[in-house]
Structure 1
């Protein structure tokens, strides 16, 4: 039996939950994760076209580290397309939040460009509020309550912040709709800006240059196709990569592992169950 908050069938030792409906803040999506105690977790982090906020409340430490040896323990915020990272830990329980870069400043209080390609402790952004929401989630009796608490907390924190330029919104939407297969010259022409102006304003407000953002969106779609069982060669052709080697390089750059290793990794299947078809980056 499935619960009211979207309980999914067990996948590789994870309990994965989804809220029954969208929250009150546009551009924000939630999912819940709890490992089933089958042993230590060591998985690549799958990039998304959204900033990721993780509020942990489990018994064991959640550790995210990158290839350079940098580590972040506990609740965190990851910007768009950080260097390849792995998640490690045991007895992990957390609510994960995906934030469209269009609403990140309003919800987190910082611009996406300040978080791009890096990971920071949630305490550094929210101070005592971070400890407060962790305590509330740990004491909540159900996933439904945890999602409601998180949704209400994010709604209360949302400020005004400077608006994103309509041209940048349009360019971001085109990148998402095209699954990253759009020429930056065409984007600039569509919004009526020079390529240089689009690059500058887009990077400032989204956190990545448009070409890198398009690569991120394209790779996310490629990862979903790998999850569905498509071969790396087929995915490379379908998603617009120059060849299979091009997909290989992108996979290693984004996740630290090859497409074949990624396709067989339990983290990708778990991630896809939680987020497929409902990325925060796909909404305003």
Structure 2
């Protein structure tokens, strides 16, 4: 699978840089991207169970259109479940941060519920700090220096920002660890809350109700298994779907394309290369 991901990334014109070790801030993952193709590149941004922060730097151009057709140029933040968003860029260099919704409010200063389903400009969230970090990343000599800058900035924010309720964090962890196959109706009893209280707190602090969150996590796990070459019947049976048609409908609902199209594109392969594991960065 790794060689396939490398081949797809190369075909799509992307170089991917990864930190040598996981982030020291729980719930934070970082990768770097450089588009080396001669002309513009365009592709889908599939939903995943994280809030996405993209910091573009250098002289290239970057724009994203969310599922509602709203366009945003430059650095941006995409909330949970952006639908079939699309990205277009030319000579792009950017740092991408994936934030667990558990730490999103602390790092961004905005509740995930305020970002759910939308794409907004980074400076609308971070103000002047957005331009400052973009300049610092552009001036850095290497990807490792950029990762260090980002780590320091994100760690400071995470340490001083507000935290979610421990019960909400626990429920989110149960959903993600189970790949979305947890019985969400039992979560409230497990944390000792009423169903109404958990649903209200979870929705406001995570950005989605528990059932919708479980569906997103389940989809993300399933679509990456499809991209790795596993058959849809097996993925559906082992992934908590009623049948293969159920899987098909879910993938179309989240991506706007069929499972075959989603699995065969370069986007998921590049995604897998960037986030599957850490290693030495591949390009400066």
How does the TM-score come out when normalised to structure 2? Answer: 0.90
The range that moved more, 33-42 or 51-60, is 33-42
Secondary structure of 1:163's match? coil
Counterpart residue number, 1:77: 77
Secondary structure of 1:158's match? helix
- Count of residue pairs the alignment pairs up: 271
What displacement does 1:197 show? 1.8
Counterpart residue number, 1:22: 22
Q: How far apart in 2 are the matches of 1:11 and 1:120?
A: 29
Counterpart residue number, 1:241: 241
Q: How far apart in 1 are the matches of 2:60 and 2:168?
A: 41
Counterpart residue number, 1:11: 10
Secondary structure of 1:98's match? strand
CA contact (8 A) 2:47 2:83 kept: no
Counterpart residue number, 2:118: 118
Counterpart residue number, 1:231: 231
Secondary structure of 1:242's match? coil
The range that moved more, 182-191 or 69-78, is 182-191
Unaligned runs of 5+ in 2: 1-5, 279-284
CA contact (8 A) 1:109 1:159 kept: no
Pick closer, same or farther for the CA change 1:260–1:149 going to 2, 3 Å: same
Q: How far apart in 2 are the matches of 1:249 and 1:223?
A: 12
Secondary structure of 1:171's match? helix
CA contact (8 A) 2:67 2:82 kept: no
Q: Deviations over 1:146-198 (max 9, x none)?
A: 11111112223335344322211111111011100011112122112222222
Within the alignment, does 1:216 sit opposite 2:219 as a pair?
Answer: no
Counterpart residue number, 2:106: 106
Q: Deviations over 1:5-37 (max 9, x none)?
A: xxx775322101110012332211100111121
The range that moved more, 80-89 or 269-278, is 269-278
What displacement does 1:79 show? 0.9
Q: How far apart in 2 are the matches of 1:38 and 1:268?
A: 22
Q: How far apart in 2 are the matches of 1:277 and 1:21?
A: 9
What displacement does 1:55 show? 0.2
Q: How far apart in 2 are the matches of 1:165 and 1:27?
A: 15
Q: How far apart in 1 are the matches of 2:244 and 2:42?
A: 26
Pick closer, same or farther for the CA change 1:89–1:253 going to 2, 3 Å: same
Pick closer, same or farther for the CA change 1:91–1:44 going to 2, 3 Å: same
Pick closer, same or farther for the CA change 1:186–1:277 going to 2, 3 Å: farther
The range that moved more, 85-94 or 19-28, is 19-28
Counterpart residue number, 1:256: 256
Counterpart residue number, 1:49: 49
Q: How far apart in 1 are the matches of 2:139 and 2:277?
A: 30
Pick closer, same or farther for the CA change 1:185–1:157 going to 2, 3 Å: closer
Secondary structure of 2:31's match? strand
Task: Please give the root-mean-square deviation of Cα atoms over the aligned residues, in Å.
Answer: 1.7
Secondary structure of 2:137's match? helix
Q: How far apart in 2 are the matches of 1:98 and 1:239?
A: 23
Q: How far apart in 1 are the matches of 2:152 and 2:138?
A: 16
Within the alignment, does 1:39 sit opposite 2:36 as a pair?
Answer: no
CA contact (8 A) 2:54 2:75 kept: yes
What displacement does 1:38 show? 4.4
| Structure number having the greater helix percentage | 2
CA contact (8 A) 1:44 1:256 kept: no
Q: How far apart in 1 are the matches of 2:179 and 2:265?
A: 23
